[in-house]
């Protein structure tokens, strides 16, 4: 029974990641430009991985706050402006991608 539930959750996470990559990422590319989005995606991925490794004992909400603050500082330094909602979508996508990679290993 637990294996069935795990497989269902795994499929739901994969579908969510597919939806994010299929619809939200192209929308964001239009809004902030492909080059800037590439930079932001790279920093988001690094920040999420850093939070997972360095702050693993903190709650998810606390880690997300740390990541958001870190990314805001970088975006200001790089003179890139995106909304909180856009940044949130990118963070969630990076977290889902990281979890999918962990599940496949």
- CA–CA separation, 55 and 34 (whole Å): 30
Task: Look at residue 79 in the predicted model and tell me its pLDDT.
Answer: 85
Q: Could you tell me if 81 and 50 are in contact, meaning their C-beta atoms sit under 8 angstroms apart? A: no
pTM: predicted TM-score of the whole model, two decimal places: 0.64
Average pLDDT over residues 88-100: 87
- CA–CA separation, 44 and 33 (whole Å): 16
Residue burial 48-73, b: 16+ Cβ < 10 Å; e: rest: beebbeeeeeeeeeebbebbbebbee
Residue 12 binned pLDDT confidence (cut-offs 50, 70, 90): confident
Q: What radius of gyration, in Å, describes the C-alpha atoms of the chain?
A: 15
Instruction: Say what the alpha-carbon torsion angle 101, 44, 20, 104 is, to the nearest 10 degrees.
Output: 0
User: How many Å is the maximal CA-CA distance in the chain?
Assistant: 51
**Is it the case that residue 1 has pLDDT exceeding 70?**
no
Task: Look at residue 71 in the predicted model and tell me its pLDDT.
Answer: 92
Average pLDDT over residues 88-93: 89
């Amino acid at each position: 029974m637990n294996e069935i539930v795990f497989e269902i959750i795994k499929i739901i996470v994969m579908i969510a990641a597919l939806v994010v990559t299929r619809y939200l990422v192209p929308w964001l590319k239009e809004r902030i430009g492909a080059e800037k989005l590439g930079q932001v995606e790279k920093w988001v991925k690094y920040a999420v991985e850093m939070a997972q490794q360095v702050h693993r004992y903190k709650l998810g909400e606390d880690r997300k706050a740390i990541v958001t603050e870190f990314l805001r500082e970088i975006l200001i330094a790089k003179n890139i402006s995106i909304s909180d909602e856009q940044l949130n979508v990118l963070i969630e996508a990076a977290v889902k991608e990281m979890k999918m990679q962990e599940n496949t290993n």
